């Protein structure tokens, strides 16, 4: 399978715990995006990388959120001190330049 892959697919965590998600993009894609999707809404942009450089972050991305793409390949999204409002689907996508983005299947986070 050469598509975008995300791990884990589901995560249940207690409020206050830290969680980390991983995204492996399509190998030749230089851009990687993170989005968050809550029930009944479209995905909302969080941040994106071109190679290893984080070029833009949304105001939605509070200080508790951090994303990295250390070698310009896979990326991680960490949420510290999770809150119930963080419960959502976290989607990763990749693209080659400004071409269409291909999405992974997402990580569904539930904070209890």
Partner 1 sequence: AQKITQTQPGMFVQEKEAVTLDCTYDTSDPSYGLFWYKQPSSGEMIFLIYQGSYDQQNATEGRYSLNFQKARKSANLVISASQLGDSAMYFCAMREVGRAGTASKLTFGTGTRLQVTL
Considering the complex, state which of residue 48 and residue 65 has its C-beta at the smaller distance from partner 1: 48
Closest separation in Å from C-beta 81 to partner 1? 26
Tell me which residue of 54, 97, 60 sits closest to 72, measured CA to CA.
54
Q: How many CB atoms sit inside 10 A of residue 6's CB?
A: 21
Binding site for partner 1 (CB under 8 A): 31, 33, 35, 40-45, 48, 50, 55-56, 58, 89, 91, 93, 98, 100-106, 108
Shortest separation between residue 55's beta carbon and partner 1, angstroms: 4
Q: Decide whether 14 or 99 has the Cβ nearer to partner 1.
A: 99
The closest of 102, 58, 52 to 76, measured between CA atoms, is: 52
| Rounded CA separation 100/12 (Å) | 31
Least separation in angstroms between residue 85's CB and partner 1 is 19
* Paired residues of 26 in beta bridges: none
Distance, CA of 1 to CA of 91 (rounded, Å): 18
CB of 42 to partner 1, least distance (A): 3
The residue among 42 and 70 lying less far from partner 1, judged by its C-beta, is: 42
């Amino acid at each position: 399978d050469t598509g975008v892959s995300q791990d884990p697919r589901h995560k249940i965590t207690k409020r206050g715990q830290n969680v980390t998600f991983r995204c492996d993009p399509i190998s030749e894609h230089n851009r990687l995006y993170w989005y968050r999707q809550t029930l009944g809404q479209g995905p909302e942009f969080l941040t994106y990388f071109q190679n290893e450089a984080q070029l833009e972050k949304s105001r939605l991305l509070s200080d508790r959120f951090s994303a990295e793409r250390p070698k310009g390949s896979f990326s991680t999204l960490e949420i510290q001190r999770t809150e119930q409002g963080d419960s959502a689907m976290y989607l990763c996508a990749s693209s080659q330049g400004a071409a269409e983005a291909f999405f992974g299947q997402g990580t569904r986070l539930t904070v209890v």
